[in-house]
Structure 1
């Protein structure tokens, strides 16, 4: 902190030499006290020991829509009326800043020192920007400068109080909806007035930094103590009062995650205080679950949801579903949970129903019922941390983050439920810190321009978000919500201090549905591997694959191991019967190269149902390791297989299969249904060993050598229908 001591000493020497005792007063105009940007300004001012005067809180805003047009002269009137107490104070230096998009990052001594030493010949200094606004025709009338930004910005300025008040007196004839920047520009461009009041611009951003048009040149760096500061690389300066003017507010929010004691390079998150304790029995939580698009593994989502550690009798549930695939699942869930949760309401809608309105209804529902919190939860957000609800609520209360999302990402991908930046067209853009946040190199809670999938909203914020999801119906509902929040100064935060869960990719699943796939989740092996594995791989597989665990050998070199789940077996049969293009059991088979099958069966190949790529990878991931375990020394990866198929045995069709060798290095034969339940008879006999395997445990697979040693036959199915899954591996 040596540099701080130097600053204080320099200011002290200056004061002693001039016998001048300046005092800095920061002033702003705000007619809306309940604004996150104003709260941030107040926090940064208090943090550095500033005296912040907020004027206009008792007034209605009549200064026009400054976000989309000109206006703001009401601020001039309010300043003129509200600052009269400073008329006789020679020692007062006023600094005006806009209320909703400014952050202060230095104490009064540093700001005064820069003003007095960098601008010793001037009494009023305005911030500068690269755009001549609101009238670009005035550009040629600006004084020529050799270096820096040339044009005045009225969002930040400072000067001796008496001079500032004299300037404000020139605005007596303004209407409230006139433009404030046009007024200040007219004063500055009038050479006589400019010289009279000794007005200058902070063209090199020594004190003030306007971000619009300069975001590429303004970054975060750190001082010797590791504290974040703003660095203007264009002018090699460290401005300390930062303004997110115009469309740069999102970038200001990003900088605000670090400055004003937000982040320290050495310590980490400075604002991440110890969490307050809560009493769940005193919190009424409303949760709105949305299944508004094709989403795989909804059953697993609901199972994860059930594991939340929170008093269910204090939770009100609203479930919105417009997907036909999930209607039965949702109905069964609701039927089971009636009486467990405080209330359960279902909105089973049609696919073309208005999702925007339904999400707005959820906010209205929670608002009317005086909810303490509302969690908007999409079914693609699997919050596997059972403490997620308590963590989010405790953080919302501790950090005063009234719109808070847990950071969740698609497994092994960079796609998450938040954006770090927004493009000029209003869509996703990658911020400079996005990867570090996603990869947890930076930990904290972050002001973000877009959050979705899982969003906790506090009681006080709910009424302010009415119709936010319908704010722009040309957009997806979550984008409309975030646009509303950005435009109305409602800060959204994403938290990666804890691990919460993951996002389920759904684009490929949606395509499976469009193409009419039976049991589309069975196909979703690549995009949602871990969920697929838990549902479709036999639960005992991972025990048998462990070193030292004996794999059963019912016949010599015939190993029997649990491979696929009963659900997989059932769904695969449904897929095959849905396809129904069974071969006719003759030697003529146009599916094969050459068109001839030596040992024909009634079967359907995996490529006929578009499952060949998935199943070949499944063999490589689960069967090959088992082969390497039981047949030590043989390794061939990736595995190859041109023959992966389901065989159907029926007494009236094909009841058995003659003795034969498989055209493979090794084969698998998986039972798909149950003997004495679905069929009678069946089994496999290995001729050379005169050994029979019942092959009747669903999902269990025989694994045995192919061509040379293991001639075998399929024994007679005497009743019902028997299904097996066969693959010839490494032919």
Structure 2
């Protein structure tokens, strides 16, 4: 319907940035309102007219298609003959490059839409062009039916498997990594034994980087050597880096044709739910990443299905803090952890009549830390932070106190209005 209302035979997406040849800017028709420049990431038209367009392609396979279509569009004769135009106000196509600040999520009863706030339109197709792939990923965590206020997650239960219906449980390689002195290691191993999963289907690989813990591992092995299908330990004498050790654990699974899943965890994780492994497998996802209950320790568990795909990801699952990892074409994790750093640190001022609040947004960070610089009730009234996905609001903390939350993907949030006085907070983006 939107295309028909445009009353053109061919319609291209439009954007505010010209690419790839800025010298063509003056040749573009001027527009009174809307985006002026063509983007070939979105094209819609009647087949005979689109066919006339593509028939003109006489370039090489690696030549730039956007430049090809741009030159045709800039030819007044061709533009008239083919009745071409651009979707200037993002009625159909929304390009994100240069327009992220224009885009908000519009939550409806049944689905979530993207809204262009400049033109008050609801685009149908969102294009994460140039360096906006991460933001496209943010949007995909909600639209069109991934999550809304009424029903919560709309896709979490899709394509799940029921282990009770399988003739035989999958074989799992469990990688355990002791990379530093770890308290309660004995309790960790006992919880591993009590996992509600057939032990003859578990192969255990342990990398221990601490001489102090060799006696704990020896004691556990002597008591449980017949429990698991296999139990392999690589000790500190091998002098492996974390990356090498984690690659080794995943490699053991890769080389074993019977290995169906790889489950990796650091030893300072507290496995309080005996169903953890079953729950993860029944999710039937390619990669699942989450943090333990001790969320501030940076403990990461990840879970990979075979075959290992080439992927570079940052994943955040509802209710859990974002973690990151990198898998190369060979399928090995090469850089699982990095030391947190903060290069974006700033002070935000809230005051009525100027900036009293912040509209719903995601932060460009893995974690965000907010520190209160003055006191509610004395210096200002109102304020606070609301997390939409969890329908949770935090009051302004006392002066000098802070709170931390994931910045990307799951924690869409807004700064609540300061109704009187002036509120100051210090904000730090961790791993932007």
CA distance in 1, matches of 2:64, 2:182: 50
What's the counterpart of residue 411 of structure 2? none
Paired residue secondary structure (2:35): coil
1:368 matched to 2:232? The reply is no
CA distance in 2, matches of 1:125, 1:414: 51
What's the counterpart of residue 238 of structure 1? 122
What's the counterpart of residue 390 of structure 1? 278
1:202 matched to 2:87? The reply is yes
CA distance in 1, matches of 2:212, 2:183: 10
Shift of 1:284: 0.7
What's the counterpart of residue 97 of structure 2? 212
Paired residue secondary structure (1:156): strand
In the alignment, is the contact (CA less than 8 A) between 1:316 and 1:344 conserved in 2? yes
In the alignment, is the contact (CA less than 8 A) between 1:218 and 1:230 conserved in 2? yes
What's the counterpart of residue 32 of structure 2? 146
In the alignment, is the contact (CA less than 8 A) between 1:126 and 1:152 conserved in 2? yes
What's the counterpart of residue 108 of structure 1? none
Paired residue secondary structure (1:346): strand
What's the counterpart of residue 367 of structure 2? none
1:438/1:276 CA distance change after superposition, 3 Å:
closer
What's the counterpart of residue 379 of structure 1? 267
What's the counterpart of residue 477 of structure 1? 336
Shift of 1:283: 1.1
Paired residue secondary structure (1:303): helix
- Equivalent of residue 259 in structure 1, options 133, 143, 146: 143
Query: After the TM superposition, which residues 70-81 of structure 1 pair with which residues of structure 2 at under 5 Å, given as runs?
Result: none
Structure-1-length-normalised TM-score: 0.41
CA distance in 2, matches of 1:416, 1:201: 49
Paired residue secondary structure (2:163): coil
Query: After the TM superposition, which residues 415-430 of structure 1 pair with which residues of structure 2 at under 5 Å, given as runs?
Result: none
CA distance in 2, matches of 1:145, 1:478: 49
1:334 matched to 2:334? The reply is no
1:417/1:378 CA distance change after superposition, 3 Å:
closer
1:176/1:427 CA distance change after superposition, 3 Å:
closer
Higher strand proportion (structure 1 or 2): 2
In the alignment, is the contact (CA less than 8 A) between 2:41 and 2:127 conserved in 1? yes
1:215/1:408 CA distance change after superposition, 3 Å:
farther
CA distance in 2, matches of 1:131, 1:297: 56
1:306 matched to 2:193? The reply is yes
1:417/1:377 CA distance change after superposition, 3 Å:
closer
In the alignment, is the contact (CA less than 8 A) between 1:227 and 1:265 conserved in 2? no
Shift of 1:176: 1.2
What's the counterpart of residue 114 of structure 1? 2
Structure-2-length-normalised TM-score: 0.67
Shift of 1:206: 0.6
1:416/1:379 CA distance change after superposition, 3 Å:
closer
Paired residue secondary structure (2:233): strand
List per-residue Cα deviations over 1:117-136 (Å, max 9, x = no partner): 1x11x211111223222233
Number of residue pairs the alignment of both structures matches: 325
What's the counterpart of residue 72 of structure 2? 187
1:416/1:288 CA distance change after superposition, 3 Å:
closer
In the alignment, is the contact (CA less than 8 A) between 1:323 and 1:350 conserved in 2? no
1:158 matched to 2:44? The reply is yes
- Equivalent of residue 324 in structure 1, options 207, 211, 217: 211
Paired residue secondary structure (1:272): coil
What's the counterpart of residue 93 of structure 1? none
Paired residue secondary structure (1:229): strand
List per-residue Cα deviations over 1:614-653 (Å, max 9, x = no partner): xxxxxxxxxxxxxxxxxxxxxxxxxxxxxxxxxxxxxxxx
1:126/1:319 CA distance change after superposition, 3 Å:
same
Gaps of 5+ in 1: 1-112, 419-425, 440-447, 456-461, 471-475, 481-731
List per-residue Cα deviations over 1:164-205 (Å, max 9, x = no partner): 11111111x211111222212222222222222122111211
In the alignment, is the contact (CA less than 8 A) between 2:268 and 2:299 conserved in 1? no
1:283 matched to 2:167? The reply is no
CA distance in 2, matches of 1:246, 1:301: 45
In the alignment, is the contact (CA less than 8 A) between 2:175 and 2:205 conserved in 1? yes
What's the counterpart of residue 550 of structure 1? none
CA distance in 1, matches of 2:179, 2:50: 56
Shift of 1:310: 0.6
In the alignment, is the contact (CA less than 8 A) between 1:338 and 1:344 conserved in 2? yes
Paired residue secondary structure (2:333): helix
What's the counterpart of residue 137 of structure 1? 23
CA distance in 2, matches of 1:293, 1:154: 52
List per-residue Cα deviations over 1:558-605 (Å, max 9, x = no partner): xxxxxxxxxxxxxxxxxxxxxxxxxxxxxxxxxxxxxxxxxxxxxxxx
CA distance in 2, matches of 1:380, 1:321: 12
Paired residue secondary structure (2:195): coil
What's the counterpart of residue 343 of structure 1? 230
Shift of 1:478: 4.0
In the alignment, is the contact (CA less than 8 A) between 1:360 and 1:467 conserved in 2? no
Highest RCO, 1 vs 2 (Cα 8 Å, sep ≥ 6): 2
Shift of 1:330: 2.4
Shift of 1:207: 0.7
In the alignment, is the contact (CA less than 8 A) between 1:414 and 1:438 conserved in 2? no
In the alignment, is the contact (CA less than 8 A) between 2:206 and 2:234 conserved in 1? yes
Higher Rg of the two aligned structures: 1
Gaps of 5+ in 2: 302-311, 340-432
Query: After the TM superposition, which residues 391-470 of structure 1 pair with which residues of structure 2 at under 5 Å, given as runs?
Result: 391-396=279-284, 401-410=285-294, 437-438=319-320, 450-451=323-324, 466-470=330-334
Paired residue secondary structure (2:227): coil
List per-residue Cα deviations over 1:647-672 (Å, max 9, x = no partner): xxxxxxxxxxxxxxxxxxxxxxxxxx
What's the counterpart of residue 13 of structure 2? 127
Shift of 1:323: 2.5
